[in-house]
Amino acid sequence: MDYGKRIETLRARMEKAGVDGAFIANDASWEYMTGLPRAGHGNTKNRQNSLEFASLLVTQKAVTAFCPRLSALGFSFRMEQFPQVDKLVEFPDVDIYGEAFDKEVTAQGLDGKTLGVTRDISSMLTLRLLDRHDAKVKDISAELDAMRAIKDEDEIALMRHASQVADQIYYDVLPMLKPGTPIRDIEHEIERLLETYDCSYSSFPAEVLNYGPLAGNRIGEPYGLLREDHVIAFDYGVVYKGYCSDFGRTVFLREPSAELRRCHELVMMAQKAALDAAVVGVSACKDLNRACHQVMKDAGMDEHFIHRMGHCIGMDVHERPFMAEGEDTIVQPGMCFTDEPSLFLPGKGLTRVEDVVLVTPIGFEYLNKVTKDLVILG
């Protein structure tokens, strides 16, 4: 990855935006800009001293990483691998309230300056800049969003591999889809398999969404065990060398009803319609979303398509821009986004398909290659 080029691009955007320094949260954007490993991936907060001030500071002169000492132990001994970072400021264990952060901000002459923050910077850091450092603060999230939205060849190669792994896992777990199989067994197997394919972790908790005549009226109320009359909708992804996949398919354990067959057909039509209606470099993300939903509207089924068409994807599973109403961003080569229409009929089933799409100069490429034909196992 050309981190130096990314930093220079950000600096140019900062200059145009009129900010003297940019604070970037200790998350995927921090890793995107420098290669430094992002903060933990657990489902609960791992609070450490001055964690609220952990961030990457980019100015025209230097790149500074702020991090609690305990978090930094995993990479501080190998900083020569991250030459794009000029200085690592570790918060010692006794620094509970960000004293080291304040000293460095002042030392870099940023008091009273105009400083940019991204949306995931903590409110405590933003308030500290305003109250203690008399700074003017601007949201520069859109600048980083625009950079991350366009993938280079190295990033595309990693995302292509992540999608291939998701495909393979689907084939690996198909034999488990039998009446009586616990759903959690399948979900655990998905997360076990990703490690066998050299992936770091799942891009979100794997879901095997199984619905049928006795299921609840809302998404999130599936059965605990598979039954023959279930419609099974996969939703999972992996992270390979920092880059995500997001995958979905629908499987039937027995011959589906004519209504469910029609739902599956409409989902396939909607997914295709979104790309058929789009022109690279001309169409906005909202245009793809509208084309996708229009299929369901024409069929009188749009009330059962309960979400946007999709979202961009990269180092986070959900990135901006979104493929949604109100998103005016133009689709450009190098973008990767999901195309994931679905139909949820309470008491009958959820049918869905999800693929990662790469935008090329001449069109679109699905990175997932699993068949979209109706799959009936029974």
**What secondary structure, in 3-state letters, does the chain show?**
CCHHHHHHHHHHHHHHHCCCEEEEECCHHHHHHHCCCCCCCCCCCCCCCCHHHCEEEEECCCEEEEEEHHHHCCCHHHHHHCCCCCEEEEECCCCCCCHHHHHHHHHCCCCCCEEEECCCCCHHHHHHHHHCCCCEEEECHHHHHHHHHCCCHHHHHHHHHHHHHHHHHHHHHHHHCCCCCEHHHHHHHHHHHHHHCCCCEEEEEEEEEEECCCCCCCCCCCCCECCCCCEEEEEEEEEECCEECCEECEEECCCCCHHHHHHHHHHHHHHHHHHHCCCCCCCEHHHHHHHHHHHHHHCCCHHHCCCCCEEECCCCCCEEEEECCCCCCECCCCCEEEECCEEEECCCEEEECEEEEEEECCEEEECCCCCCCCEECC
Residue 44's pLDDT is what? 65
Residue 215's pLDDT is what? 63
Residue 42's pLDDT is what? 62
Residue 214's pLDDT is what? 65
The residue with tokens 């791992």 is 46
Question: What is the per-residue pLDDT across 221-270, written as a single tens digit (0 to 9) for each?
Answer: 667 889 888 899 999 999 999 999 999 999 999 999 999 999 999 999 99
Ordered structural domains, the chain, with CATH: 3-149 (3.40.350.10), 153-376 (3.90.230.10)
Residue 248's pLDDT is what? 96
Give CA–CA dist 347/91, Å, rounded.
Answer: 53
81, amino acid identity: Q
Residue 86's pLDDT is what? 96
Give CA–CA dist 219/349, Å, rounded.
Answer: 10
Give CA–CA dist 98/92, Å, rounded.
Answer: 10
Give CA–CA dist 289/143, Å, rounded.
Answer: 23
Residue 64's pLDDT is what? 97
Residue 82's pLDDT is what? 92
Residue 117's pLDDT is what? 97
Residue 107's pLDDT is what? 97
pTM assigned to the model: 0.90
Q: What is the pLDDT along the chain (378 residues), one digit of tens a residue?
A: 899 999 999 999 999 999 999 999 988 899 999 998 887 666 666 778 888 999 999 999 999 999 999 888 888 889 999 999 999 999 998 999 999 999 999 999 999 999 999 999 999 999 999 999 999 999 999 999 999 999 999 999 999 999 999 999 999 999 999 999 999 999 999 999 999 999 988 998 898 988 777 666 666 666 788 988 889 999 999 999 999 999 999 999 999 999 999 999 999 999 999 999 899 999 999 999 999 999 999 999 999 999 999 999 999 999 999 999 999 999 999 999 999 999 999 888 899 999 999 999 999 999 999 999 999 987
Give CA–CA dist 314/312, Å, rounded.
Answer: 7
Of 337, 370, 339, which is closest to residue 354 (Cα–Cα)?
A: 339
Instruction: Evaluate the CA torsion angle 292, 293, 294, 296 in order and state its sign.
Output: positive
Contacts of 73 (CB under 8 A, 6+ apart): none
Residue 222's pLDDT is what? 66
- 14 token code pair: 């900062």
Distance between start and end Cα atoms, the chain: 47
Task: Let me know the angle formed at the C-alpha of 348 by 345 and 349, rounded to the nearest 5 degrees.
Answer: 70
